Amino acid sequence: MLILTRLEGGPKRVNHAAVAVDGIIYSFGGYMGFEDYSIERPIDVFTLNTVTLRWKELQYSDTGRSSNVPFKRYGHTAVAQDNIVYLWGGRREEEACNRVFLFDTLTRKWSAPSVSGSTPGARDGHAACISQGYMYIFGGFEEEKQDFSDMVYALELKTLTWTCLWRLTSDILKRDFLTAITICDKIYLFGGRSYSSPFYDNNVLELDLKEMVCSLRVINGFKPHGRRSHSAVVVNNKMIIFGGYNDISNEHFNDFIMFDPATYKWVKLNVHGGSLPCPRRRHCCVSVGQFLYIFGGSCPLPQASNSEVHHLMELCDLFVIDTAMSLRSLALQAVIFHDLETKNLTAALEKEVESYKTGNDICKQFEKLNLDGEFWD
């Protein structure tokens, strides 16, 4: 893998949710330490153009009803099918949510249609993914029960009908800040925080959607550390995880590890081209083709000791990584890294190089860090 660039100045967010549609990354909400989440306000949406690497705050429509727009939140999920983004769950202060919100990326309009069936309880810290016309919800911390969820829910996107998949209920699902991804007709879960033993595990849970059976896979050889608040994406039918946190070892991670479901093996990936992203948690990582876009999250304050690992700062950086290390990317990275002259390039190439070298200024309005003793866990 090759790091093409690192740019500062993007949205400073923790525990946000992001998804790519037609080459544009949409980032929804998230936590900022100095904001007051006891006040209900409409969610903010930022877009990243993956060609120009420019962030913008998106202006949208509520189609005449403010209730169509989700309130600003964290710990939610966002998944997309075609041009529609499905946002679900999350919380602000003491209020969690279980309404389904739809965002049309073509019209930039929100809607909150009625749903039917067995609606899951309000929660945050769950995982979501899409497969075969359904959105699946796993884990999370349920507000009403004040406990981790052990159930799996599926929302049929065409009819907006919820179904509780009772036969999949299991204590092993009782965790939050796990990840879920779809490869072919199977869903793979990894990580998360649980109060059962072990507190963190490094197992891979596989859900076979044809047989509707969930099982722990036997994996030999290298395994990553157990963690929560990491990210997981799919590239070439393989799962790549990055980052996360384990509060047993008080360790934040910045490793890239790949799981191949064809062989049931983990491989630690080598990264070239520059410094790795700093160890972090509750960031976003979105894959667009062979490229990864990592942004936001939080990391320990530079002066924090091991006993102060919960003293965090919010990040506004963006990393662009080519998982295929293409010849074009190698050439682009060399021009950027060595600051080579670009006047003999075509105008389009010169503009592209400049985009990869120029930071954003979105976070200027959020310069103040929350260093007053209230630290986000």
Fold of 2-366: Neuraminidase (2.120.10)
Find, among 194, 204, 231, the residue nearest to 15 by Cα.
231
Q: Is 55 helix (H, G, I), strand (E, B) or coil?
A: strand
Residues 6 or more apart whose Cβ sits within 8 Å of residue 372: none
One DSSP character per residue, 294-324 reads EE--EEE-TT--GGGTT-EEE---EEEEETT
Q: What are phi and psi of 146, to 5 degrees?
A: 50, 50
pLDDT at 34 (0 to 100): 78
Q: How confident is the model at residue 197 (pLDDT cuts 50, 70, 90)?
A: low
The conformation of residue 253, written as its DSSP 8-state character, comes to: B
For residue 191, what are the contacts with CB-CB under 8 A and spacing of at least 6? 177, 178, 179, 200, 202, 226, 227, 228, 230, 232, 241, 244
Kind of pairing between the strands at 45-49 and 24-28? antiparallel
In the structure encoding, which two tokens stand for residue 264, read together?
């049931």
H or E segment at 124? strand 123-124
Tell me what pLDDT residue 375 has: 38
pLDDT at 326 exceeding the cut of 90: yes
What's the pLDDT band for 195 if we cut at 50, 70, 90?
Answer: confident
**Which residues, 6+ apart, have CB-to-CB distance to 350 below 8 Å?**
342, 343
pLDDT in tens, 213-261: 999 988 999 999 999 999 999 999 999 999 999 988 889 999 999 999 9
SS3 352: helix
Task: Kindly tell me if the per-residue pLDDT of 308 is higher than 60.
Answer: no
Q: Which helix (H) or strand (E) holds 86?
A: strand 84-92
DSSP string covering 87-140: EEEEEETTEEB--EEEEETTTTEEE----EE-PPPPEES-EEEEETTEEEEE--
* Burial degree of 4 (CB within 10 A; 0-12, 13-18, 19+): buried
Q: How many angstroms separate the CA atoms of 69 and 67, rounded? A: 5
| Cα Rg of the chain (Å, integer) | 20
The pLDDT assigned to 201 comes to 84
Tens of pLDDT along 71-116?
999 999 999 999 999 999 999 988 999 999 999 999 999 999 999 9
pLDDT-derived band at 36 (thresholds 50, 70, 90) equals: confident
Q: What is the pLDDT of residue 310?
A: 65
Q: Judge residue 366's burial from the number of C-beta atoms within 10 Å of its C-beta, 0-12 exposed, 13-18 middle, 19 or more buried.
A: middle
Averaged confidence pLDDT in the chain: 91
Prediction pTM value:
0.93
What letter represents residue 299's amino acid?
C
How confident is the model over 270-290, as pLDDT tens digits? 999 988 999 999 999 999 999
DSSP secondary structure code for residue 225 in this structure: P
Which of 81-90, 105-114, 145-154, 196-205 is predicted least confidently? 196-205
Q: With cut-offs at 50, 70 and 90, classify the pLDDT of residue 373.
A: very low
Determine which of 3-12, 193-202, 312-321 has the lowest per-residue pLDDT on average: 193-202
